[in-house]
Amino acid sequence: MIIQLEQGISSQEANKIRDKVNSLGFKTTDVITQRCKYIIGIGKKEIDIRQLGGMAGVSDVHRVSDAYKLVSRKWRVKPTEIDLGDGVVIREGDFAMMAGPCSIESEEQIVQVLEHLNANGVRIMRGGVYKPRSSPYSFRGLGIDGLKLWHEHAQTYGIKIITEVMQSSQIEDLCKYADILQVGARNSQNFNLLDALGEVDKPVLLKRGISGSLSELLQCAEYVFSGGNEKLMLCERGIRTYETAYRNTFDLNAIPILKEKTHLPVIADPSHGIGVRAYVEPVALAAVMAGADGMIYETHCTPEKAFSDGQQTLDFRESEALIKKTRATFELRKSF
């Protein structure tokens, strides 16, 4: 159960509501986000919610039986919008494009990608400066100095930055230079990191775990939301299956299902989703038709020379073709 509180509620009123909810057999948790104050009631009892709805300080009461509550679409029917400023908004009804290299490698590479995105009207650039790698001997990113350099150049193009956060100690510095913090598949269930991201006022893109179920993904999102941060979106990036013909199995099914279950924007990552450059485009276009609110994919001037994930990275010609076809596909979807 979600009890939405009035903004100006007094502590006495909040105490009374909490006591009442407890007396009805529910455990309570207080949640304060950028937008609202809530009391979450956890329990199995069937109650008449009008008993709470009439109390001073309560603005609304919603019954949500799912394990995840605040991220559920059952109580908030209006889809969440993520406003990055300068007219860049991620929302249902638009299609957000985010593109860039797997890893930030050099100043030259940053500028090449920014030029490419700018020429094609893409307003959000992706790139890792902290890279989770299977081998400790692989390139692990340029760190915060790489992000500072990237930020300087990105600002001159008015292009926003999404980059991965791997641990809580990186959050403060990343928040100074990035517009969206990405939680990678390997950290999807790092609950300490999710708790810490709940405390910041910065949009978060949460990726599905390597073998994470949709329910787990939604409960991970609930950690961030209930920690206080409503600026959240989800990303389908493929899961590990028995198939060996490609890197991951992009779960197209996840997109309409997530869209039905949550009010958060749903973003597709076809690059990690299939992991093979030649097949990124068809998967990406299928994700558009399936109802995604945006896409994040990898592009690089010379993918064969990329420091990481070159095998799934589009060159600029392929990237430009994908951008055009994505826009055309999105128009087609809107026309239905």
Q: Are strands 232-236 and 204-207 parallel, antiparallel or unpaired?
A: parallel
Q: Is 273 in the site for ligand PEP (CB under 6 A)?
A: no
Minimal distance in Å, beta carbon 299 to Mn ion? 11
Instruction: For ligand PEP, give the closer residue by CB, 47 or 286.
Output: 286
d(CA 336, CA 334): 6
Q: Does 207 bind ligand PEP (CB under 6 A)?
A: yes
Choice from 58, 71, 97, 102 touching ligand PEP (CB under 6 A): 102
104 torsion bin: left (phi>0), alpha (psi -120 to 50), beta (else): beta
**Residue 293 interacting with Mn ion (CB under 5 A):** no
With CB under 5 A as the rule, give the number of residues binding Mn ion. 2
Distance (Å, rounded) from C-alpha 39 to C-alpha 195?
Answer: 18
Nearest to Mn ion of 40, 102 (CB atom): 102
Give the nearest distance from C-beta 134 to ligand PEP in angstroms.
Answer: 10
Listing DSSP states for 40-79 in one string gives EEE------THHHHTSTTEEEEE---SS--TTBTTT--SP
300 touches ligand PEP (CB under 6 A): no
When the beta carbons of 69 and 237 are compared against ligand PEP, the nearer one is 237
Residue recorded with tokens 């993904």: 217
Residue pair 330/126 in contact by the 8 Å Cβ criterion: no
Q: How many CB atoms lie within 10 A of CB 93?
A: 9
Tell me the window of 113-121, 178-186, 222-230, 315-323 that interacts with ligand PEP (CB under 6 A). Answer: 178-186
Residues near 102 by beta carbon (within 8 Å), at least 6 away in sequence: 127, 128, 131, 271, 298, 300, 306, 307, 308, 309, 310, 313
Tell whether residue 159 is a contact of Mn ion (CB under 5 A): no
The stretch among 31-39, 180-188, 222-230, 315-323 that binds ligand PEP (CB under 6 A) is 180-188
Is residue 237 near ligand PEP by the rule CB under 6 A?
A: yes
The one among 266, 309, 319, 326 contacting Mn ion by CB under 5 A: 309
- What φ, ψ does residue 130 adopt, rounded to 5°? -120, 115
Residue 132 or 310 with smaller CB distance to ligand PEP: 132
Q: Which amino acid is at 120?
A: N
Pick one of 43, 79, 132, 291: the residue that binds ligand PEP (CB under 6 A): 132
- Closer to Mn ion by CB, 31 or 117: give it: 117
According to the binding rule CB under 6 A, does residue 184 interact with ligand PEP? yes
As measured in angstroms, the least distance from the Cβ of 289 to ligand PEP is 22
CB of 99 to ligand PEP, least distance (A): 11
272 binds ligand PEP (CB under 6 A): yes
- With contacts defined by CB under 6 A, name the span among 153-161, 181-189, 218-226, 299-307 that binds ligand PEP: 181-189
Given a contact cutoff of 8 angstroms between Cβ atoms, the answer to whether 183 and 223 are in contact is no
128 scored as a contact of ligand PEP (CB under 6 A): yes
Cβ-based nearer residue to ligand PEP, 14 or 97: 97
Give the one residue of 98, 102, 161, 287 binding Mn ion; rule: CB under 5 A. Answer: 102
What's the rounded Cα separation, in Å, for the pair 141 and 301?
A: 18
Least Cα distance to 164 among 195, 197, 136, 134 occurs for: 197
Q: Name the percent of the chain in helix, strand, coil, to the closest 5.
A: 40, 20, 40
- In the complex, what is the shortest distance from the CB of residue 40 to ligand PEP, in angstroms, rounded to a whole number? 29
How far apart (Å, rounded) are the C-alpha atoms in residues 229 and 59?
Answer: 20
- DSSP state string for 263-329: SS-EEE-HHHHH--HHHHHHHHHHHHHHT-SEEEEEB-SSGGG-SS-GGG-B-HHHHHHHHHHHHHH
Binding site for Mn ion (CB under 5 A): 102, 309
Binding site for ligand PEP (CB under 6 A): 102, 128, 132, 184-186, 207, 237, 272
